[in-house]
Amino acid sequence: MEDISDSPDFCHGNKCIWMEADVVAYKLCDQNYDCERCTFDFVMRNTWKAKTDSENVVLNFANNSLIDNIIGKISRIFYDRKLIYLKNQLVLKHMFGSVYTIGISQLLSNLIENIDEVEMLNDYGLVKKEEKLLSIRGKWGSKEILSPMDFTLLQKLDIDPDEFPDDNVFGVVSVGEPEITLARVSVERVKKDNYRLLKKLRNFLETEPQIGYTMMDGGNRCEYLYEALGLDTFQKIISNLN
């Protein structure tokens, strides 16, 4: 069958986010990217969940449920349009005026849920764009997050590792609309990136039948995603999140 996406008449301007994420071969958006009211998006999201649920018996038998569980968590992420999604896997929530809470995205929080420490690398006051903002450390390694914009840090909030990822807010900031606009990422872009990661994880799941046990330690049970994927693969995944 001819690949119509190579045709000069193929429309590139309004691809469905599921097509952008390479989950479906061809689908154009006819809802002006209002995914919450889109029947196709609803069906696709529930298909991911149903596929995950229907495989649970097989996956548990193969001790393969660890990656399956994270696929389920990501597929069930609620995209709150009251949140402002930012570059570098950060989110803002409006409080009043120019004051917002700032936290770590649900996607990154779910991937690195076993953390030892979250440290803010800034003093109170002005934080500049591209300045190191946050250091997250765990047995899987560490990830530093850069500030996607200029803002004023008003208050630091401690993240309790035992409450993470439910507790993922680390500060209160003051920031102007122009700075937010430059750092903002659309909900549609966030969804597309998350669906692309879902596809990678499912491909990994299908090609690695013994996920759930480490390969080099005599078959000890994996407890965390980084053990199942391997440190190199895990680090590449979280490093590529932006």
Asked if residue 146 has pLDDT above 80, the reply is: yes
Q: What percent of the chain has pLDDT over 90?
A: 27
pLDDT surpassing 90 at residue 209: no
Q: What is the pLDDT of residues 8-59, one digit of tens each?
A: 333 445 778 777 766 777 778 887 777 777 878 777 777 665 555 554 434 3
pLDDT at site 91: 95
Reported as a pLDDT band with limits 50, 70 and 90, residue 66 is: confident
213: Cβ contacts below 8 Å, ≥ 6 apart: 63, 219, 220, 221, 222
Q: What percentage of the chain has pLDDT greater than the value 70?
A: 79
Joined together, the tokens standing for residue 224 give 């965390």
Q: Please report the pLDDT score of residue 90 as a whole number.
A: 95
Residue 194, pLDDT > 50, answer yes
Q: What pLDDT, on the 0 to 100 scale, is given for residue 144? A: 92
**In this predicted structure, what is the pLDDT of residue 219?**
53
* Predicted pLDDT at 68: 78
Of the listed ranges 76-80, 83-87, 203-207, the one predicted with least confidence = 203-207
User: What is the CATH code for 83-182?
Assistant: 2.40.50.100
β-strand pairing of 125-127 with 117-120: unpaired
* Residues 226, 235: Cα–Cα separation, whole Å: 8
Determine the pLDDT at residue 48: 60
Task: State the average pLDDT for the chain.
Answer: 78
- The arithmetic mean of pLDDT across residues 138-155, rounded, is 93
| Local confidence band at 220 (pLDDT 50, 70, 90 cut-offs) | low
Any idea where the domains of the chain sit in the sequence? 4-77+187-229, 83-182
pLDDT of residue 231: 86
- In whole angstroms, what is the distance from residue 152 CA to residue 150 CA? 7
Q: What band does 216 get if pLDDT is binned at 50, 70 and 90? A: very low
Beta strand spans in the chain (E): 83-86, 90-96, 99-104, 117-120, 125-127, 132-138, 141-146, 151-156, 169-174
| Residue-wise pLDDT tens digits, 91-101 | 999 999 999 99
* pLDDT for the residue 239: 86
Q: Are 213 and 38 in contact (CB under 8 A)?
A: no
The answer to whether residue 109 scores a pLDDT higher than 80 is yes
The pLDDT, as a whole number, for residue 126 is 93
**Could you give phi then psi for residue 154, rounded to 5 degrees?**
-95, -35
**Cβ distance 45 to 32 under 8 Å?**
no
3-state secondary structure 167-205: CCEEEEEECCHHHHHHHECCHHHHHHHHHHHHHHHHHHH
pLDDT at residue number 24? 74
pLDDT digits (tens, 9 = 90+) for 157-189: 888 887 776 778 999 999 999 999 999 999 888
